[in-house]
A and B are shown apart, each in its own frame.
Chain A
Amino acid sequence: MSVCSLGFLFFTGVVTLLFHARPGLGGRRMVLGAASLFFLAAFRPDLRSLAALAAFLFVTHMSLRLAPRASRLTVVLLGAAVVAAFLVLRRYSFLQSLLPAKLLGHPLELVGLSYMLFRFLHLLVDVRQGQIGAVSLTSYLSYQLSFLTLVAGPIQRYRDFRASWDTLARSTPPPRDTLLAWDRLLSGMIKIGLLSTALLYVYERAAAGALREQPPPALLLRFMAYFYSYPAYLFFNFSGYTDIVVGAGRLLNFSLPENFDRPYLARNILDFWNRWHITLTKWIRDYIFMTSYKWSVDRLGPSPFLGPSAVFVALLIAGLWHGSTSNFALFGLVHGVGAAVNQVYDEILKRRLKAPARRAYAENAWIRGAATFATLHVVCFSFLFFPGDLDLVFARLHFAATAVARLAGSAG
């Protein structure tokens, strides 16, 4: 079921009515649990995929039960085994040269698997480190399969999930809050149904025409439409999705974290990730960047190369997490390099300028404008690799570069 559909609107209305008709915690949990199962069933998974999902959830929950008592090595191996299973289930293209084709040729499709993996790994680390107590099977299933976050996040932390899950029985929100929740939900639907659909249409037309012989000015205009429309489409689509689930959550006394904060106004790549898919960024920051950086410094001692290296690896992994093909690796590579350069530049500024001069530099409107402009274009460039065929992307870039050269030649 698409969250931007009349079906989802009706589904949310019915779930909200049933939820508020039951005053007790247990009854409301049952309503949300049944709603999540119904939502999952609406994707019509085949029996083999359902069995694979059940196995994934069972094995990961068993790992969580073992984690507090098992050795550190055992926990690392459990986590690695689940990541390996994820890579096979998602058919990562780099595995083709390592594994038999039959293993990757499986028909299994698991909805929201990437999100489930990150939720599980966060739990594994936090349970192991004693930050989260025992996680019951019902809590775990409710956390992993919640219809509010199943398909595309946000990646809510378990502690925050429990804060809502344990207080579902609180009284019905005042009418104003209910109206604001519906407003948020419907705004999200407008963003997806109208804006992102229109932008996708522009993108597809521009992409199709970007390889057609035409005068250089027309080609460049078409290329600009191609260049800017996809990032705009992605923003409206994904932030619209977040609006819908955050709004639906509020109707059900369920608080979800925000995922966007005007990302295209970021002044550098690190700032962009603090504004785009925020819950993913925080996950990557905590469980990849900080963990790998701290591990490296503890063993190798401080080095100016460790920070940029850790941030590069973290954003490369963020790129790879988005999809199983090489275009996502390229997307991660652009962001990894951009963020590493960003961090080296910050370090140079810290060494050369004293704190007041650094503040003046950061607040300078011209510098801020130039940095925002440059960041926007690096981000738009990286999003070219998101959809489809890499050969076509490179051909369009080559075509546009040739048109610029021809224009420059005729002007000269």
Chain B
Amino acid sequence: MSELRERVQAIFRSVFGDDTLVLSDGMTAADVDGWDSLAHINLIIAIEQKLGVKFATAEISRLKEPGQNVGSFLKLIEGKMAGRA
């Protein structure tokens, strides 16, 4: 597992209070218990604080749209971290 995936998984586990949660690319909000709008924004805030990236409002919104999943979320974070480096 890549380092980024491990770090994001740790943040997911902390936000959703589930130490058994394992991220997979195809996972969506519907697959994670309690991934509502409040949890979504808490997740974004935690990722911004721990990984030092910033999300635009439209990006935060798009992540909840159909067709989006953990894989696309990781790609977005990866792109932002690469742009920062």
Contacts and interface: CB of A to CB of B under 8 A. Distances in A.
Interface of A: 125-126, 129-132, 157, 159, 270, 282, 285-287, 289-291, 293-294, 297-298, 302, 307, 311, 343, 346, 350, 355, 358-359
A282 B38 contact: no
Contacts, number: 56
A161 to B, nearest CB: 14
Most A C-beta atoms less than 10 A away, residue of B37, B57, B60:
B37
A294 B41 contact: yes
A116 B33 CA distance: 36
B34 interface: yes
Interface in B41-68: 41-42, 44-45, 56-61
A355 B61 contact: no
Interface string B18-45: 1000000000000001101110111011
B16 to A, nearest CB: 8
A291 B44 CA distance: 11
Give the 4 A-B residue pairs with the shortest CB-CB distance, closest first: A129-B56, A131-B58, A286-B61, A307-B38
Contact of B38 (A132, A343, A359): A343
A297 B45 contact: yes
A302 B39 CA distance: 12
Interface size class of B (residues with CB under 8 A): 10 to 19
A270 B34 CA distance: 13
Contacts of B36: 270, 346
B57 A126 contact: yes
A4 to B, nearest CB: 30
Contacts of A346: 36
Interface of B: 17-18, 33-34, 36-38, 40-42, 44-45, 56-61
A272 to B, nearest CB: 14
A359 B42 CA distance: 21
For the residues of A in contact with B, the DSSP-based class is helix
A188 B40 CA distance: 35
Contacts of B18: 355
A129 to B, nearest CB: 4
Nearest to A282: B61
A159 B45 CA distance: 25
8 contacts: A129-B58, A285-B61, A286-B57, A286-B60, A290-B40, A293-B38, A307-B38, A359-B33
A287 B34 contact: no
B18 to A, nearest CB: 6
Contact of B57 (A270, A287, A307): A287
B17 A350 contact: yes
A68 to B, nearest CB: 13
A294 B37 contact: no
Given A291-B57, A358-B34, 13 more contacts: A125-B57, A126-B58, A129-B58, A131-B58, A286-B60, A286-B61, A289-B37, A290-B61, A293-B38, A294-B41, A307-B38, A311-B38, A355-B34
A345 B57 CA distance: 27
A284 to B, nearest CB: 10
B77 to A, nearest CB: 16
A270 to B, nearest CB: 7
A137 to B, nearest CB: 22
Contact of B33 (A130, A131, A270, A358): A358
B79 to A, nearest CB: 13
Contacts of A293: 38, 41
A84 B17 CA distance: 42
A291 B17 CA distance: 24
Contact of A129 (B34, B38, B44, B57): B57
B37 A131 contact: no
A350 B41 contact: no
Given A126-B57, A129-B57, A346-B36, A290 B17 contact: no
